[in-house]
Amino acid sequence: MAAVALTDAERTFLSALDDLGVKYMVVGLSAAVLQGADTVTVDIDLWLENRADPRIHEAAQRAGGVWIPGHFGMAPPTLGGEALGNRFDIVTTLDGLDDFQTEYAGSLTIEVDGLRVRTLPLPRILQSKRAAGRAKDLAVLPALEAAIAAVADEEK
């Protein structure tokens, strides 16, 4: 039996985002793990093109969850509910990167549990972690650098 990375509700939510035409990317360590970085994370970081998009609410409902877009600058967005759980973290800013459209144009598509998921590439994750400069971000730099080197070796 193949390993499963996503719950049924998480797959339903991401699939619904795709079906509804909502642009998003998996970013942060969750994106790095999908690309082979030797590290772990418990959440799935999502960067949404437009948090005010009402289709996000519809996608959450299809998955048995709830979407609260938050108040820009005051309250963070919340995605969860009993069926959907709380593994999705909605990223509102990424240090050291360009705007969503620019980063989306350079994103990768990776298959996860039968879904094609747009993902921030390893070098961009590395740049963002360096720019953030938090201790927890700096601690994963060696794993990200090693994963980038491994990908480069595979491409030779």
Cα–Cα distance for residue pair 7/107, rounded to 1 Å:
24
Fold annotation for 8-148: Beta Polymerase; domain 2 (3.30.460)
Calculate ∠ Cα 79-121-141, nearest 5°: 90
Strands across the sheet with 108-112, in order?
Answer: 88-91, 44-48, 24-27, 115-119, 108-112
**Residue-by-residue pLDDT tens, the chain, 156 positions:** 345 689 999 999 999 999 999 999 999 999 999 999 999 888 999 999 999 999 999 999 999 999 998 876 678 899 999 999 999 999 988 999 999 999 999 999 999 999 999 999 999 999 999 999 999 999 999 999 999 999 888 887
Q: Which residue's structure tokens are 């909605």? A: 90
pTM, two decimal places:
0.91
Residue ranges covered by each domain of the chain: 8-148
Q: How far apart are CA 118 and CA 108, in angstroms?
A: 6
DSSP 20: H
Nearest to 89 by CA among 133, 137, 150, 25: 25
Give residue 2's pLDDT. 47
